[in-house]
Amino acid sequence: MKKKIDADIVKLYGIITGLVAICIVICTVHVTSLTRSYREAILDKINVQTQMASQVLSKMFEKNIEIVTAEAIEMAHKGGLSHTVICDMLAECERQGRFQDVYFINSIGTVYHPDGSLTQVAIEEYTEMVDESLDGGVYLDNNSSNGDELSFMAIAPVIAGGLFKGYFVGVDSTASILDHVTLGYLDDSAISYLTANDGTILSATENAGGGSANNVYSYLLEQAKNPEQMEEMLNEGRITQENRDPIQVTLPLKMANIYLSSYPIEGTENWNYSCCLYDSTIDVMVRPIAIRAILTCISVILIMLTLVAVVWKHISKDQTRMEELAYCDTLTGAKNMHYFEMKARELLDDNRDLPYAVICFDIVNFRYMNEGYGHEKADAILAALVKAANESFSYNETFARISADKFVCLAIDDGRDKARKEFVEERVNRYANTIAVNYPIRIKSGFYVVTDYTEQIPSMIDKADLARKSITGESKKLFAYYEDSLIEETRRREYIESQMEEALENGEFVPYLQPKWDMVEDKIAGAEALVRWIKPDGSMIYPNDFIPIFEKNGFVEKLDFYMLESICKYVRRLLDEGKPVYPVSINQSRYLLHNKAYVRMVQDILLKYEIPKDYVELELTETVFFLEREHMVSVMSKLKDINVMLSIDDFGSGFSSLNLLKDIPFDVLKIDRGFLDETATSKASRWILLKIVEMAEGLGVKVVCEGVETKEQAEMLKEIGCHIAQGYLYAKPMPITQFEETYNC
């Protein structure tokens, strides 16, 4: 059983491990795909934002050109371009804050500034720039006066009256150009650049790495993990940019991969807006999502494990219940045989070093308890026994109910069995008293000492049970050890049982008669019929060898009626033949008392053979069992009603008490021969016997003493007033023919 539970646990762990493994795989796939999609979403976002930003910048440049063009047109319309007119316009334009710097260059290179100051430049440079410009507007000027800072210019020619007057120039720093665009939530994490096709960095956001690097291509090449591969990739990028196409690429750098998204700025010849995002930055953004997903998965696994645990608990509870039903006897709560066989096997296999015994036990005369006190109380007694027994066994012993009041246990054979038996008996009797069961509960047990630990459990139980069965009802010793000879006895019992029916039909059961002797008159006073089984080969079996078996299997009933009828037939014949007839007593099993038709059947036989009163006497053994006694009294009273002579047989052999006899109607008291043995040796016994005889006289019943073998015994009986004796001193039981020849002539 333990092994089964272990197997179940292993199975459970297997299931849980499997489930957890599946969950981990699912979760890993889930977390990976989730982070991948989130990553892709980030890259999509950066592409979209980069494109949008490049469009914003494109619009901004367009706008700048529009402004300087409008200023140039306005200036042309002013007519005479005096120093004051020009400088006022410039000052006005500067106030509007569109450009960092505005100025006008006249056709000979004189530069007018908003503050009215004048400087000189070479006009050809500007003409060149205008020629190179796309829409005749925007220029990059890295030769600006603002130190390292790059600037760009929007230049519009001022043409008045068809004559070229100069250029209106708006200058802005590329440094602040990127303030005009946003990348949404990526603003803080992405690095943005405004670059030229040759990689020159025109502007970069503050978080741009590379320190003083002013060319993105050289910076990337410098940082490349694999410069050759990078070179190739960059060349490809250059071509794409020259074609004014967007770039989206992941570049492997030494410190981390970097994602680059670049869009050409429309309206410029070779300017591009690029956004870069380090893998590590993406990781930082993805991490919370991944952590959240992992936590969700862990929660799901935990919930699932909890569910498995709850379901398991439920199932194991059901299983325990089922095991209880499968292994427990619902009436007493004891374990059943199925359980016993498994548990005993397990214990014997695991504890080869412990001395074990299998013990079968039952309650003596338990059936009387059922009949006398009813099933409910009898069941309660059994339950009390189970409880007491359970308390008396240790963890490496086991105990089960076989049937009715029959139990089996596998106990450690350490000499404690008697103490244990007493403990259980004491507890059960104490309990019995509380439910008004006064019958003394005694346990009868058969022991089988286990020597071969591999022997089959049912075989051990059979042997212990055999030992139990070997204790006959009369035995005062209530335990017996198994011996191989018991098997022989069982075989013999089986043989007897297989033969009995046929033997009865074939007349193999023969009544013998043993005289009862009147010691005063010194003549025969009657006889007792005693059965003999005479086999066809002439061999004889004595009643002690088969009556106990028949009492157990109920066949005794048939045999007793057969004997009664045989004797009635014999008495009838003697009467018919006019021969002297003596009263014959016939043994009647107590078993008969439970047959409801018993009295009527006796009457039928007596009537059939017209047996006069006093010729046939029935011998019954008294019972100590109070409730059976009531029944006995009732049946005996009915027998008395139909004028049957009754005798109490074997008085003094069991728990006899004269007091108990006062309610029973009977005519003869037969004192057991064992009593006589004790009387010879003890004065007290002799005195008791005297009192029994006196009391019997007082009750008006005759006393017959059985087993009188010596003259001394006969003398002693006569002395104490017992006049009738039965025993070998006078005659042994003999066949009817011999008896007839001797006494009936």
- Contacting positions for Ca ion (CB under 5 A): 587, 619, 649-650, 706
CA–CA separation, 461 and 360 (whole Å): 7
Q: Of Ca ion, ligand C2E, none, which one sits near residue 733, judging by CB under 5 to 8 A according to partner kind?
A: ligand C2E
Q: How many helices (H) and strands (E) does the chain have?
A: 20, 26
Tell me whether residue 441 or residue 563 sits nearer to Ca ion (CB atom): 563
Q: How far is the CB of 675 from ligand C2E (least distance, A)?
A: 12
Which tokens hold the place of 431? 């309990």
* Contact with ligand C2E (CB under 6 A) among 187, 728, 737, 742: 728
Site stretch for ligand C2E (CB under 6 A), options 168-176, 295-303, 437-445, 542-550: 542-550
Contacting residue, 81, 733, 739, 744, with ligand C2E by CB under 6 A: 733
What's the Cα-to-Cα distance from 724 to each of 173, 567, 616, rounded to whole Å? 153, 21, 17
Task: Report the alpha-carbon distance of residue 511 to residue 501 in Å, rounded.
Answer: 17
560 touches ligand C2E by CB under 6 A: yes
Structure tokens at 229: 């591969």
Contact 680, 719 (CB under 8 A): no
* Residue among 61, 63, 54, 45 at smallest CA distance from 194: 54
DSSP letter for 328, please.
Answer: B
Q: Which residues pair with 514 in a beta bridge?
A: 528
Angle at 695 between CA 693 and CA 698, to 5 degrees: 115
User: What is the spatial distance between Cα 586 and Cα 565, in angstroms, rounded to a whole number?
Assistant: 10
Cβ nearer to ligand C2E, comparing 172 with 650: 650
Which residue, 379 or 709, has its beta carbon nearer to ligand C2E? 709
Candidate residues 111, 169, 348, 531; the one interacting with ligand C2E per rule CB under 6 A:
531
Please provide the distance, in angstroms rounded to a whole number, between the alpha carbons at the two ends of the chain.
76
632-661 mask for ligand C2E (x: CB under 6 A)?
A: -----------------xx-----------
3-state secondary structure 31-44: HHHHHHHHHHHHHH
Which CB atom, from 67 or from 646, has the smaller least distance to ligand C2E?
646
Which listed range, 50-58, 82-90, 110-118, 537-545, lies at the site for ligand C2E (CB under 6 A)? 537-545
- Which one of 212, 451, 544, 681 is in contact with ligand C2E (CB under 6 A)? 544
Is residue 556 near ligand C2E by the rule CB under 6 A?
yes
Q: Give the contacts of 82 (CB within 8 A, at least 6 positions apart).
A: none
Residue 629 site contact among Ca ion, ligand C2E, none (CB < 5 to 8 Å, cut-off depends on kind): none
Taking residues 660 to 699 in sequence order and writing x for each that binds ligand C2E by CB under 6 A, - otherwise, the string is -------------x--------------------------
Q: How many residues bind ligand C2E (CB under 6 A)?
A: 23
To the nearest whole angstrom, how small is the minimum distance from the Cβ of residue 549 to ligand C2E? 12
Both tokens assigned to 13: 């762990």
Report in angstroms how near the CB of residue 420 gets to ligand C2E at its nearest: 34
In angstroms, what is the minimal distance from the CB of 543 to Ca ion?
A: 10
Q: Which of 224, 275, 381, 547 binds ligand C2E (CB under 6 A)?
A: 547
Is 727 among the residues that bind ligand C2E (CB under 6 A)? yes
Q: What's 125's DSSP letter?
A: H
Residue 544 near which of Ca ion, ligand C2E, none (CB within 5-8 Å, type-dependent): ligand C2E
Contacts for 504-509: CB closer than 8 Å, 24+ residues apart: 504/558, 504/559, 504/562, 506/536, 508/533, 508/534, 508/535, 508/536, 509/533, 509/559, 509/562, 509/563
Instruction: Find the angle CA(123)-CA(129)-CA(134) to the nearest 5 degrees.
Output: 145
CB neighbours of residue 168 within 10 Å:
29
As a whole number of angstroms, the distance between CA 213 and CA 215 comes to: 6
**Identity of the residue, 268 or 726, whose beta carbon is nearer to ligand C2E in the bound complex:** 726
Per-residue mark of binding to ligand C2E, 598-637 (x: CB under 6 A): ----------------------------------------
Which x/- pattern, by CB under 6 A, does the window 698-717 give for ligand C2E? --------xxxx--------
Element (H, E) at 411: strand 406-412
**Among ligand C2E, Ca ion, none, what does residue 589 contact (CB within 5–8 Å per kind)?**
ligand C2E
Of 57, 60, 282, 293, the C-alpha closest to 186 is: 282
Both tokens of 276, joined, read 């870069």
Binding to ligand C2E (CB under 6 A) within 483-522 occurs at 514
Q: Which of 478, 477, 472 is nearest to 493 (CA)?
A: 472
CB of 376 to ligand C2E, least distance (A): 32
- 646 makes contact, choosing from Ca ion, ligand C2E, none, with CB < 5 to 8 Å by partner type, with none
Evaluate whether 72 touches 196 at the Cβ level (below 8 Å).
no
Contact positions toward ligand C2E, by CB under 6 A?
514, 530-531, 542-544, 547, 556, 560, 563, 587, 589, 649-650, 673, 706-709, 726-728, 733
